Chain A
Amino acid sequence: MNTRRLLGLDILKEKYRYANDPQFGHMSAQKIPDRWVKTTCGYCSVGCGMLIGVKDGQAVSVRGDEEHPVNAGKLCPKGLSEHYTLRADGRLRQPLLRKNGKLEPVSWPEALEALVTNFRAVQAKHGREALGVISTGQLLTEEFYALGKLVQLGFRTRNYCGNTTLCMAAAAAGYKRSFGSDGPPGAYQDFETADVIFLIGANIADNHPILCQHVERNKAKHLVVVDPRVSKTAMLANTYLPIAPRTDIALLNGMLHVLIREDLIDHAYIAAHTNGFAELAASVAKYTPEFVAQITTLSPQQIVDAALLFGRAERPFLAWTMGVNHSSQGAETVNAICNLSLVRGKVGLSGASPFSITGQCNAMGTREAGFTSSLPGYRKFESAEDRAELAALWNVDVETIPSARGLAYPDIIEAMVKKQVRALWIIATNPLVSFPNQGLLRQAMGELDFLVVQDGYHPTPTTELAHLVLPAAIWGEKEGTYTNSERRVSKANRAVDPPGQARTDFDIFLLIAGRLGVKDSLFPNWTGPKDAFEEWRRVSAGRLCDYSGITYELLDREGAIQWPYREGDPIEVTRLYANGVFQFPDGKAKLIPIEWLPFPEQPNERFPFVLNTGRTVEHWHTRTKTGRVEILEFMSPKAWLEMNPHDAEKLGLRPHDQVDVVSRRGRVREVELRITAIVGPGQVFLPFHYAEFNSNFLTQSAFDPISREPNFKQSAVRVEKSGVQR
């Protein structure tokens, strides 16, 4: 501090001056940019349009895009402070290679040499599939598409998956089983036109706050929130159904039981557009309201009321997110939801659909561009026809395209423990915070011969373990497209240059392809993301997720567009399956009988609480970004554990006590206790963002057999006052 400031002669008037921005009016002068760059938010899948203010080559502010159909100018607190992520401390500026146990800066050529040599060596010694790759819904579609080709056709390993498996794999798998393909049928507009909205395991007020404005605009709706925790979203409900943890299948089956009993189903639609009704009806015969009441802890009347509300609605909309997906019965829960919409013939109509709210900004784009759980364009590994089609499009030998998917994320980790996967490449994700059962994960990581982590930041708990760290550009520093929950393709643009020697993920993939000698065969004449997008348009043409009519020019001119959008037939399709024709060969959807099962790890005397995990509005995932944004950290600096007052009283715990949370697998120390009636007796809630209080030391290795999504919720735990040994 200088003398003038100490004396009080200087009050930093220049810094705190206001001025007029031509577009946004009166504001802090230091936030007024030279130019505003249109882009799309890089956090969640809501897909808000925004502008980055750039001044002297630095991002100084962001504003919501008032013309964007998703957010109409609004942004959540993370979006409103997103420009800070670009200038945050801890940005990676150069490649780092571990030498004598220490990560040291190296040149790009040396880094690429290390990557290719080590991957090749492992593959030569242990087989091609000893290389595993875990990527992310944070990448742009162009990058994800290029990476898929590089991994599957360049490195020739099938053991490739994304962090999206920790997020919405259940939704994708569920759609495939019910409708014959991935692809959410509904749109955000449906929140505005529905007469009854069910939000199942979806705390949108914390996790997707900008969606709330679509719900809020709908004045005539009846909103039902199904959640064991009285979330912020539950507070918005006309009807709140506090079900016991993970009893949603029982509730959904119970509702179906009542619909059939009361004949509130569309027989004509069922006959014309579905298969399997008889088996389904038989399967829910035992789910009487009384039976379901025992499981869910709701009253039989609540179940009947919910069913009648749904059954009599003209436009019922069923939306869900992680409460459903984060389950070892996740895909089946999605099927149980789809069953309800199908028996009423309410799929793909205005205000009426089953609808998954996705997680990451481009989880959808990665589902479509594929190469993990399916081939690009929702094609199937198993289909010879699909493989032949792709081989022709790419001009490659059809034999190079795998005929079955490789290992999913949790299975790659298990294969690491078994030393079957010996080298791993992690891109823009942070499993050392986000993956369940950290004890096992750390053991698996220790078995690796070579670990490459590509990220925008260092250190993260994951980069710290790496043999090689590649510095990547992040949102705001690269160009491409994101696709949001409602299949809307939005352009993300480069506003500023990446720091130091950091390169875009796209460039890194092409550099590696060059070093690997597959650049010309896989990426002929590619120089930028637009080349990838042009190829993706051709690859997706004629598929359900048809991008062929979408161009960068069109996106820049018209704004975000929903797929399918066909070349030569450029009509925006707001909803899928409105005609009742599904993606199975006979065009009919499948009604799938689903049995409710108790969650895998039931509480007992030693571990009496059911641990629920979730988010808070200020933070994104593992806080790699938001933990570096001062105002977000200020508002939510550390984790807390929510416990019902009755339980706290029994344990003799007081508010703000430091407690340890203990499961069979680990212990999270010194969490601040929040005694609150928003969680029910016998349940506790811990946010999962905080590496320092990592809930994933407690969570279990229980995965959905269908989608491979982890059962992040419902671990059996006990709570002890910190420092007190029992």
Chain B
Amino acid sequence: MSLPLLERAIAEADPRFVLSTTKLPPPPGPGEQYRFHFDMTKCIGCKCCEVACNEQHGNPADIHWRRVGEIEAGEYPFTQRLHLSMGCNHCVDASCLKGCPVDAYNKDALTGLVLHSADACIGCQYCTWNCPYGVPQFNEERGVVGKCDMCHGRLTQGDEPACANACPEQAIAIEVVNIEQWKLEYQALANAPGMPPADQTISTTRITLPANLPANAQKGDFHRVRPEHPHWPLVFMLVLTQLSVGTFCRLLLDPGQAGAIAALLIGHLALAASTAHLGRPIHAYRALKMWRRSWLSREVLAFSLFAGAATLYTATQSFAIGAATVIAGLIGIACSAALYLVPARPAWNSWTTVAEFYLTAVLLAGAPKLVPIAAAAQLVVLAFKYLRFHQSEEFELRQSARLLGNDLKELVWLRIVLLVGGALFSSHPASLLPLLAGEILGRYLFFVGVVPRNMAATFGGRKVA
């Protein structure tokens, strides 16, 4: 791999590199990396950086690799309305990178920047859930994610990033930081009102705050809760894999080939559905790559094994293969659940996710005797979940409670009615339909009802991709 920055650092005769000494700090040395510095005392909220970023990268209007948000504190006339401008924080412990199933991310050896390869990316969007700042954004048109790379290409030519170049107030700059030193300092220097806590990923952006800014300054979008993307292919993939695994569990104790064929077909359908979630379905197989690190890879691996074993079991009806099928399937559900346990999405990051997924498997296993118990348990989990959201100190959880309790209230009630109704008539084979509908609706609410951690947005702007 070529490292143009390094090459330029060596080839000092290059006139463009001479230029770099004025616009850029010298390239980072060992144990150092580049980072942004944002000076809130200088920012006037003009959003030049946002537009310049899109022009630099040719991005469509709904993708904003740099965003400006608002925060407000105080009583009139001592009000403070201030702005945040953020690109990627090029974290020390980047969660986008750690979750990526295809190793599309790397932390650049020379600059420390978190870089993303569109070629490697399969558009699974797992990084968009993992990042607490909403930095990686899925480009619908391309089918891949993209993110701020600090204008790496400009850096290699000695030019500052487009945002810093466009800022009329010199509120954005880049600096070199010593990573070990930063680990000692970042709590004081990387945190700001309107930003998620920096310790999740050790954000490297240094933020200069006004001296008298209250820590409880409110986000500009504080009162706006918008449902998240429903990810329909994943709704079906989760519910149907869980149905299939549950059914194979039942069949292991109470064999029957017809049931197995049905469960097998549904299982395959579920896995096929999951590829529709990808921006680049043809490259779905690549998702196996990072099984040592990524729960998404592990999920794909477990369910691939499950599908293979289930196919064999359906054909052979061998108990040993059946047992293997069930083990792979149960591990698969565990992987599914584990991949949603991400700190950046607090509503998911709880044992309730694990419980919900396994209970779906029980509810849809075709075992009528278990249904009332499982339904009761599912209700308890739901009740616990909403109570937890409601009473949480965490902003995002309270917002989830508001979303589910207000905007999505009717759907929440429908989900409960379907669950209870299905359970009451569980002895009737047709009860599987309301139960299935209830779980699908439940999973839909799971996706749309999450409020991700993110930096403050503006009051009125549209939602970025």
Contacts and interface: CB of A to CB of B under 8 A. Distances in A.
A232 interface: yes
Nearest to A630: B61
Interface in B33-88: 42, 44-48, 50-52, 54-58, 60-62, 72, 74-77, 79-83
A375 B151 CA distance: 52
A708 B319 CA distance: 93
A272 interface: no
A128 interface: no
Contacts of B47: 77, 617-618, 635
Interface of B: 42, 44-48, 50-52, 54-58, 60-62, 72, 74-77, 79-83, 118-119, 122-123, 141-144, 146, 151, 153-154, 156-157, 159, 162, 165-170, 222-224, 278-283, 458-462
Contact of B279 (A8, A20, A232): A8
10 contacts: A8-B278, A64-B166, A76-B46, A76-B48, A209-B44, A235-B82, A637-B462, A677-B72, A677-B75, A678-B81
Nearest to A63: B55
Which of A81, A230, A630: most chain B Cβ within 10 A?
Answer: A230
B122 A677 contact: no
B142 A11 contact: yes
Contacts of B142: 11-12, 16
A674 B153 contact: no
A644 B146 CA distance: 39
The 9 A-B pairs at the shortest CB distance, nearest first, are namely A8-B280, A28-B58, A242-B77, A655-B223, A630-B61, A26-B153, A205-B44, A209-B46, A7-B282
A666 B33 CA distance: 59
Contacts of A494: none
A11 B122 CA distance: 10
A236 B40 CA distance: 11
B55 A61 contact: yes
B284 to A, nearest CB: 9
A680 B430 CA distance: 62
B162 to A, nearest CB: 8
Given A80-B52, A631-B61, A635-B461, 17 more contacts: A9-B280, A16-B58, A61-B55, A77-B48, A80-B48, A205-B44, A212-B169, A216-B168, A235-B82, A236-B44, A240-B77, A634-B462, A635-B458, A676-B79, A677-B72, A677-B74, A678-B72
Contacts of B83: 232
Contacts of B162: 27
A230 B55 contact: no
A76 B46 CA distance: 7
Contact of A77 (B46, B81, B119): B46
Given A235-B81, A235-B82, A31 B58 contact: yes
Contacts of B159: 25-26
Interface in A656-707: 656, 672, 674-681
B460 A638 contact: yes
B157 A15 contact: no
Nearest to B57: A28
A467 interface: no
A617 B154 contact: no
Contacts of B74: 677
B143 A74 contact: no
A210 interface: yes
B462 A677 contact: no
B77 A11 contact: no
Contact of B76 (A71, A233, A644): A644
Nearest to B461: A635
A77 B44 contact: no
A16 B55 CA distance: 11
A636 B460 contact: yes
Contacts of A677: 72, 74-76, 79
B381 to A, nearest CB: 31
Contacts of B157: 20, 25-26
Contacts of B52: 80
A431 B449 CA distance: 44
Nearest to B44: A205
A73 to B, nearest CB: 8
Interface in A615-635: 617-618, 630-635
B281 A8 contact: yes
B302 to A, nearest CB: 23
Contact of A31 (B55, B123, B154, B278): B55
B48 A640 contact: no
Nearest to B171: A216
A656 B143 CA distance: 33
Which of A8, A9, A28, A230: most chain B Cβ within 10 A?
Answer: A8
A213 interface: yes
A242 B166 CA distance: 31
A706 B301 CA distance: 80
A528 to B, nearest CB: 32
A610 to B, nearest CB: 14
Nearest to B280: A8
A679 B79 CA distance: 9
Contact of A74 (B48, B56, B61, B154): B48
A301 interface: no
A629 to B, nearest CB: 8
Given A26-B151, A637-B460, A213 B169 contact: yes
Interface in A590-646: 617-618, 630-638, 640, 644
Contacts of B81: 230, 232, 235, 676, 678
Interface in A53-89: 61-62, 64, 71, 73-77, 80-81
Nearest to B224: A656
A97 B374 CA distance: 72
A74 B169 CA distance: 10
B72 A80 contact: no
B442 to A, nearest CB: 27
Interface in A21-69: 25-31, 61-62, 64
Contacts of B119: 11
